[in-house]
């Protein structure tokens, strides 16, 4: 079994910024940080085979405990040899706790001290997800990095609700650690507290008492303004022990990745790049483009002239637009591949800039060129 101290190694810290380099090592390989983790909700990164996901530079993917618990079931995946074998992904898998999904289905769930009682969105069957059950499911999946059950409230919520939620999250984290003690897999803690810095610091203090090997930041990017998210991160990230990896949950827009790295974040995940791809939107060096725009009908240039991915080397905007307006499934596959490659390359450029101690320069140049909104050409 891997010792906690072997899991993450901090290798370099930037000058005049919170940016940092590190290495995460699990039983399924190594990944340099900071890194972006594609989301494979149901044991697949939508529209792509695992080899294609790896080609984009990804070495860690996120899979969803809630969905895999309901279908096909953790016991079936366990009998198949674990999730890595079941989905043919040889590298590291991080699983969430399922808490975000059951909390987002408020009309189907009820939170209590024991856990979350909820009805399946698939067949209406009744389930009780406890901290212990969440970890048990993740252990059966064979997850490398696990998240404890937590409460993620929508924004805005009353201060008192955030306070109650973080205290419940802390109690559940204690139970999760006790249940998981001595078993394979790395267990993170999750920091909650909404948009209130004092609550974030209180949550951090609670979770740090458990001395878990990594810390996730939950409950952000759930409707608050980005500047507010950055303000909260700036306020409490300096209080996180430097030797532990920091994981900002559910964040994946290019500008947010660059800003997050500057604040000291090591891990990111988001469904955004593949969801955008399936809906005809592609990242490019200047911002996002909507491929169904009529201006691309006779545009025989690459999707992104600055990109060297398979899609940009072999297909034109005109062809990709044709696929999309014809509702061909290949459009979603190619755009999803490109978007993940774009983020993978962005993270590789960030890591190189940190290595060469020029991240601030890189950040300034990126902010000058990249527009988060969609652009027309």
The pair of three-digit structure tokens given for residue 316, joined into one six-digit string: 């034109």
Helix (H) or strand (E) holding 254: helix 254-263
Residue 269 designated active-site: yes
DSSP class of residue 221 equals S
Distance of CA 39 to the CA centre of its chain: 7
Among 144, 150, 266, 269, the one annotated catalytic: 269
CA dihedral 56, 62, 64, 69 (to 10 degrees): 100
Site of tokens 């205290």: 167
Residues 320, 335: Cα–Cα separation, whole Å: 8
Six-digit token pair at 310? 């398979």
Q: Residue 325 is encoded by which pair of tokens?
A: 């307006």
Catalytic residue among 96, 144, 150, 304: 96
What tokens were used for 99?
A: 């808490």
Cα 131 from Cα 138, distance rounded (Å): 11
Q: What phi and psi, each to the nearest 5 degrees, are found at residue 140?
A: -65, -35
Closest CA to 196 of 229, 245, 149, 169: 229
CB atoms within 10 A of CB 257: 23
Task: Find out whether 359 and 368 touch, Cβ atoms under 8 Å.
Answer: no
Assess whether 75 carries a catalytic annotation: no
* C-alpha–C-alpha distance, residues 20 and 320, integer Å: 37
Tell me if the bond preceding 95 is cis, omega within 30° of 0: no
Backbone angles phi, psi at 329, to 5 degrees: -65, -20
**Calpha distance 109→50 (Å, rounded):** 33
Tokens in use for 189? Answer: 């803690």
- Phi then psi dihedrals of residue 121, to 5 deg: -75, -10
Q: How far is CA 160 from the centre of its chain?
A: 28
Annotated catalytic residues are 96, 269
């Amino acid at each position: 079994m891997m010792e906690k101290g072997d899991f993450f190694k901090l290798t370099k810290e930037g000058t005049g910024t919170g940016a940092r380099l590190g290495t995460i090592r699990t039983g399924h390989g190594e990944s340099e940080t900071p890194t972006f983790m594609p989301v494979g909700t149901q044991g697949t990164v939508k529209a792509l085979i695992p080899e294609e996901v790896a080609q984009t530079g990804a070495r860690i993917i996120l899979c969803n405990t809630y969905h895999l618990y309901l279908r096909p079931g953790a016991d079936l995946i366990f009998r198949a040899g674990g999730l890595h074998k079941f989905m043919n992904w040889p590298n590291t898998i991080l699983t969430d706790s399922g808490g975000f999904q059951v909390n987002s289905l408020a009309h189907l769930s009820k939170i209590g001290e024991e856990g979350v009682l909820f009805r399946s969105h698939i067949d209406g069957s009744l389930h009780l997800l406890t901290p212990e059950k969440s970890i048990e499911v993740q252990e059966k999946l064979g997850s490398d990095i696990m998240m404890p059950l937590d409460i993620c409230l929508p924004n805005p919520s009353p201060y008192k609700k955030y306070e109650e939620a973080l205290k419940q999250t802390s109690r559940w984290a204690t139970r999760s650690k006790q249940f998981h003690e001595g078993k394979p897999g790395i267990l993170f803690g999750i920091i909650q507290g909404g948009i209130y810095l004092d609550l974030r610091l209180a949550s951090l203090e609670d979770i740090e008492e458990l001395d878990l090997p990594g810390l996730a930041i939950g409950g952000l990017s759930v409707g608050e303004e980005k500047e507010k998210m950055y303000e909260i991160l700036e306020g409490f990230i300096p209080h996180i022990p430097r030797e532990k990896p920091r994981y900002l949950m559910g964040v994946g827009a290019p500008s947010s990745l660059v800003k997050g790295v500057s604040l000291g974040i090591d891990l990111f995940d988001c469904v955004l790049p593949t969801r955008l791809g399936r809906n005809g939107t592609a990242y490019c060096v200047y911002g996002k483009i909507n491929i169904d725009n009529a201006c691309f009908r006779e545009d025989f240039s690459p999707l992104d002239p600055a990109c060297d991915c398979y899609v940009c080397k072999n297909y034109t905007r005109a062809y990709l637009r044709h696929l999309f307006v014809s509702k061909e499934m290949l459009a979603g596959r190619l755009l999803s591949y490109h978007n993940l490659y774009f983020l993978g390359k962005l993270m590789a450029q960030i890591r190189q800039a940190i290595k060469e101690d020029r991240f601030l320069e890189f950040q300034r140049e990126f902010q000058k060129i990249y527009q988060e909104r969609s652009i027309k050409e």
